[in-house]
Structure 1
């Protein structure tokens, strides 16, 4: 399925806080299904825009909100450039994830207003953490998180997850170590709404669209699982 030309837009934040910049990719034919692509710490860069385009090509209305809009609007960083990686870490330190999940809630409401009957999300790194928080704190229909950071510190919210959640966990993630992974498995393996997938020997960022971090086989497997998961739960 093809898509129409992607656009940049703004969506209203909650509590009249302002307007959130966002990249939007629309399918050629409206399916009533939508995906929020939640960025890493590198902004709505080319890789995140490509993920939106890929979802639109599959028939979903896709949006990537600018999660750093409050203090670094429109920033686009390359994780393979050391100076830009360090800049991204600085933004991560400034970021308030509680406000961030409200921004995802704003995107959910905007997508419903655009005619989407079902809304899911796919988040990466910091976005993977936000996907977990979104599953616990909103009425999103399904969520997927790739190598989400600090989830092990938020497992007290797992009881609130009422809709399907899938997490992709690379076992050699140098930001989420073995102890943190063990805590995640212990808490979430028994959860009836949660599916966990381990990727043995892979590191953080393995499903990046391109660049040094990407592992072709791992990314293909994880993305195929994500597509099947969201197709099932957004039908």
Structure 2
């Protein structure tokens, strides 16, 4: 018998003009905190839902908002299928990350007000890693983790606003985040008292995917262990 349950909820946007769905995984006991799982460019697909289920099994309320709802609600793509991977890149090119942070903030409000869980963290992957950084800088979220976040080097001007702990996992062979971008991230954030950076030598983008060809088992286990410890420390 599972010690978790899952369902889909509807969350209002900050301006109240629209709503979006979110996959929610719940522990059977009172959640010790909540974790927002921020999708890659492939939507809230089976891998993202599994991450939610795993957090719920550890006692957290886990929520994955459908951030592409303005373009295609309910989008689920498989990164191992070339046509779908290219489709995801097209969505990424059209997506406005400023909207994403607002929708994540709306999700934070839902967690605290509707679900009644005061402590909230987020963990994001790829596009979600960028959004995790932006969420740390633009909201009052309690803790944030980003895996192979893209374009963070272009957003270092917002680092002064990071008031709560942020951890970033950086694979050194990330073909979407090159050596110059990685060097800029380190130069900009190494001395930030709220930020912790970890490099993963030889690993590529997507190494912590739950399923599929991109996963590197040893790297994923190492990074995920650090993430669990980080949330245990900062969320309880």
TM-score by length of 2: 0.98
Q: Which sections of structure 1, spanning at least 5 residues, go unmatched?
A: none
Q: 1:206 aligns to what?
A: 207
Matched, 1:27 2:27: yes
Deviation of 1:28 after TM superposition, in Å, equals 0.7
Asked if the contact 1:32–1:117 (Cα under 8 Å) also holds between the matched residues in 2, the reply is no
Secondary structure of residue in 2 paired with 1:14: coil
Q: 1:196 aligns to what?
A: 197
Which 4+ stretches in 1 moved above 2 angstroms? 1-5
Asked if the contact 1:205–1:213 (Cα under 8 Å) also holds between the matched residues in 2, the reply is yes
Q: How much is the aligned-residue C-alpha RMSD, in angstroms?
A: 1.0
Q: 2:122 aligns to what?
A: 121
Asked if the contact 2:137–2:159 (Cα under 8 Å) also holds between the matched residues in 1, the reply is yes
Q: 1:155 aligns to what?
A: 156
- Residues in 2 aligned to 1:47 and 1:77: alpha-carbon distance in whole angstroms: 10
Deviation of 1:117 after TM superposition, in Å, equals 1.6
- Residues in 2 aligned to 1:3 and 1:61: alpha-carbon distance in whole angstroms: 12
Asked if the contact 1:172–1:203 (Cα under 8 Å) also holds between the matched residues in 2, the reply is yes
Q: 2:97 aligns to what?
A: 97
Deviation of 1:2 after TM superposition, in Å, equals 5.4
Cα 1:109–1:3 change in 2 (3 A) is farther
| Alignment coverage as a number of residue pairs | 235
Q: Which sections of structure 2, spanning at least 5 residues, go unmatched?
A: none
Deviation of 1:17 after TM superposition, in Å, equals 2.5
Matched, 1:8 2:12: no
Secondary structure of residue in 2 paired with 1:144: strand
Q: 1:53 aligns to what?
A: 53
Query: Once structures 1 and 2 are overlaid, which stretch shifts more, 170-179 or 114-123?
Result: 114-123
Matched, 1:172 2:169: no
Q: 2:62 aligns to what?
A: 62
- Residues in 1 aligned to 2:28 and 2:200: alpha-carbon distance in whole angstroms: 34
Deviation of 1:30 after TM superposition, in Å, equals 1.0
Query: Once structures 1 and 2 are overlaid, which stretch shifts more, 17-26 or 215-224?
Result: 17-26
- Residues in 2 aligned to 1:31 and 1:6: alpha-carbon distance in whole angstroms: 14
- Residues in 1 aligned to 2:2 and 2:155: alpha-carbon distance in whole angstroms: 39
- Residues in 1 aligned to 2:129 and 2:30: alpha-carbon distance in whole angstroms: 27
Q: 2:182 aligns to what?
A: 181
Deviation of 1:83 after TM superposition, in Å, equals 0.2
- Residues in 2 aligned to 1:207 and 1:144: alpha-carbon distance in whole angstroms: 13
- Residues in 2 aligned to 1:56 and 1:188: alpha-carbon distance in whole angstroms: 31
Deviation of 1:4 after TM superposition, in Å, equals 3.2
